[in-house]
């Protein structure tokens, strides 16, 4: 029904996760209406980003430099390493300005159900870096979920015997959230991890 | 905070209507993860669609042919012309298979508030086509809104004196909708346009 070239464009948008037929149609139509200049910028930005952006060889964070600007920043606290599952979380923490150590980005989380094993998410590279490095604390900042817990436990186990503090971020009811909207797992965790009021 | 080329990509996505910072970030990240082959298809589909797709010189519908496949279809009922505000509505009607006449696509609707006048939406081209053509009925299938009503009334007025039936699609409560979710304008219209039960 659609002209072939429009059909292709709609299919192209559908490659992006979370974009279904309806949204792809809407985006394709609006792209056709885009002025030449903006369209060219958009196409160029896709190609440039794809060509230039790669993983930092030290921490696996995405970057367009040889080494990412966090690893090459002399002012960071090099005694602390924060392990995240995704580059997005590095950007998030940096935006909030709540952490000043170094990062290590995994390629996702271990998942027994999906058959994702430690070697698939680059844990060997992480361990190698920690063994060669001079870290005092490893902070595991992964999602509190089955996969997150599995990954955290695996990393803790594999680092056993090294002179390191290994911590993980707290899990519980978020600030300002209504209790009744929390799932059972979150509430159970919040209860089990209760802290004495000082 | 983001690498420049990623920042540009995010800005590129924000050119598309309905895409804010958060969605643009999500789409940009997912684009980086796209396999080379899919990425190339996506980029090519944007360029091809932009180069090939234009307006049908007869009905103003988007097409990649010289004349669109509806205008060039000898089996359509050429006595009926359905006027829509947007090519999307042509695709919608065709998908549903509920209409077998010809179409004319306006470039939007008259809007006094936004300063969009009849000449801005191509009404002169519509009138010229109708005068030269052999239509028996003109169906105005535009959105029931202030702008839709204004546009319908204007077209009706300008076609006065021609030997034509001019109709507009019915407006009211959609099939299956709950009354309490309808706005006042819809309910008022539904009430005023009530039909005797035969």
* Global pTM exceeds 0.80: no
Partner-chain contact A43 B45, CB within 8 Å: no
A116 phi and psi angles, rounded to 5 deg? -100, 115
Position of tokens 């191509």?
B122
Tens place of pLDDT per residue across chain A (198 aa): 899 999 999 999 999 988 999 999 999 999 998 999 999 999 999 999 999 999 999 999 999 999 999 999 999 999 999 999 999 999 988 988 888 999 999 999 999 999 999 999 999 999 999 999 999 999 999 888 889 999 999 999 999 989 999 998 888 888 877 877 778 878 887 777 877 766
Using an 8 Å CB-CB cutoff, list chain B residues near A34.
15-16, 50
What is the reported pLDDT for B169?
Answer: 86
Which of A13, A32, A48 is the closest to B5 by Cβ?
A48
- Name every residue whose Cβ is closer than 8 Å to that of residue A4 and which is 6 or more positions away in sequence: B64
Q: Which domains does chain B have, with CATH numbers?
A: 4-52 (1.10.8.420), 62-196 (3.40.1360.10)
pLDDT, averaged across chain A = 91
Using an 8 Å CB-CB cutoff, list chain B residues near A48.
5, 8-9
Cβ-contact B179, B140 below 8 angstroms:
no
Q: Is residue B115 scored above 90 in pLDDT?
A: yes
Q: What is the CA radius of gyration of chain B?
A: 21
Partner-chain contact B41 A16, CB within 8 Å: no
């Amino acid at each position: 029904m659609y002209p072939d070239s429009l059909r292709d464009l709609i299919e192209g948008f559908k490659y992006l996760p979370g974009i279904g037929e309806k949204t792809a149609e809407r985006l394709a139509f609006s792209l056709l209406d885009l002025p030449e200049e903006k369209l060219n910028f958009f196409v160029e930005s896709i190609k440039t980003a794809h060509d230039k952006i790669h993983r930092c060889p030290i921490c696996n964070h995405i970057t367009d430099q040889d080494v990412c600007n966090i690893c090459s920043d002399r002012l960071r606290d090099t005694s602390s390493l924060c392990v995240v599952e995704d580059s997005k979380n590095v950007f998030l923490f940096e935006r909030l300005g709540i952490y000043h150590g170094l990062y290590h980005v995994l390629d996702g989380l271990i998942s027994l159900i999906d058959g994702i094993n430690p070697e698939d998410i680059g844990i060997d590279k992480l361990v190698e870096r920690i063994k060669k490095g001079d870290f005092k604390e490893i902070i595991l900042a992964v999602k509190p979920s089955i996969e997150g817990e599995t990954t955290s436990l695996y990393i803790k186990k594999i680092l056993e015997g090294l002179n390191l503090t290994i911590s993980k971020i707290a899990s519980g009811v978020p600030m300002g959230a209504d209790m009744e909207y929390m799932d059972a797992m979150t509430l159970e965790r919040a209860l089990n991890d209760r802290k004495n009021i000082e």
